[in-house]
Structure formats: structure tokens, C-alpha cells
Amino acid sequence: RFGDLDIPCGPGDTSSYPEKSDQGVTRDKIVVTTIADPGGPRPGLNQGMFDSAQAFVDWCNGLGGINGRQIELKLRDAKILEYKERVLEACDDSFALVGGLGVFDEVGAQDQVDCGLVNVAGAAVSGQQAEADLTWQPLPNPQGAFPVGGARWIAENYPEAITRAANIRSKVPVTEVQAMRQTAAYE
């Protein structure tokens, strides 16, 4: 079970399904894409997104797929700077984006919407992706709010530390925006 939902995976008789019912969906399979950045200048960045997606697909397919359709996973490496290109590839052959995390996800957010590709992101980094139509986030990153539970815990348990806090970031637009949001929320 997933919380109070039944497991979505299991066998099924696919013989009555149409040969192709939607982009990335055939009688026997559902094609999904996970985009992350493990091949960029920082090797292994977000590799866990690929590993988690592969583990879920292996588990679900081991139970029979989704209503008998096997999940085919495409792991697409954005290498930090190629997120848009990976989204455009997925627009050509995938039913959905699932479990991804791209450092520069803002550059493909509108392309994903334009081609009608649902994105169930592992996490959205940018405001453009977080607020994009068709993006669903298990770990929300709304632009009008910032989670402060960690800061409150530190303030309660280590009150002397809050006067010595700092925010260190790279000079990249998305990290600068996130740092400003974090600083404002923590203050």
C-alpha cells in the first residue's frame, strides 16, 4: 500500500487494450522518462533519482506492471545544461516524466506543458517548473512559501547558532533565487 492507496501495480489482461492508446502507451507497455544530471560537471549529481526510478520500475514490473502493461523507463541525463533537450526527447516518446530532478529545470518547463507531458517530479528546483501546468510535486516547492521547520528546530535546540547563520550559494540564478527565499523565510 501507498499510504491509504492500493498498490498501482499488478497483472492484467492486455488483450482487449488498443495497440496504441496514447503517446508512450501501447497494449503491452507504458514509457516514462526520468531526467536528472549525473553526467554533468559534478559526476553523480542526482544519481539517486535514476536509482529510485529504476528500483520502482523493477518492483512494479515484477508485480505485473500496471494492469499488465510493463513500464519502460528511459533515463535521460540532462548533464545540468541539457534539460530542455531531454524534455523535447521525452515529448516524442513518453507518456510522462516521473521522479526527476534537474538543476536547470526551468528551461524545459514550458516545453513540457506545450507538448502535454505530465511531470510528477521527484523535486522541482525552479519556480517555473514548480508552478508549471501539468507538474505535480510530492515534495512541493511553491513560490509563495518556504518550509521553515528545520530552522525552527535549530532555533529551539541551538538558539545561539541562529546569530551565526550564513547562506552560501553559487552564483547561478536558480540558487540565488532559492537562497533569497530561504533567507527571507528564515529571518
Residue 48 pLDDT grade (very low, low, confident, very high; cuts 50, 70, 90): very high
Q: Is the CB of residue 143 less than 8 Å from the CB of residue 106? A: no
**Cell numbers for 84:** 530542455
Q: Quote the pLDDT of residue 2.
A: 55
Q: What angle do CA 165, 170, 173 make, to 5 degrees?
A: 110
Q: What are the CA-CA distances from residue 90 to residues 63, 142, 144, 158, 181 (Å)?
A: 25, 25, 29, 46, 31
Candidate from 4-13, 80-89, 175-184 with smallest mean pLDDT: 175-184
- Segment (H or E) for 68: none
Whether residue 111 is predicted with pLDDT greater than 70 in this model: the reply is yes
| CB-CB neighbours of 97 under 10 Å | 28
The gap from C-alpha 74 to its chain's centroid, in whole angstroms, comes to 14
**Cell numbers for 46:** 542526482
- The pLDDT tens digits for 58-76 are 999 999 999 999 999 999 9
Q: Quote the pLDDT of residue 79.
A: 96
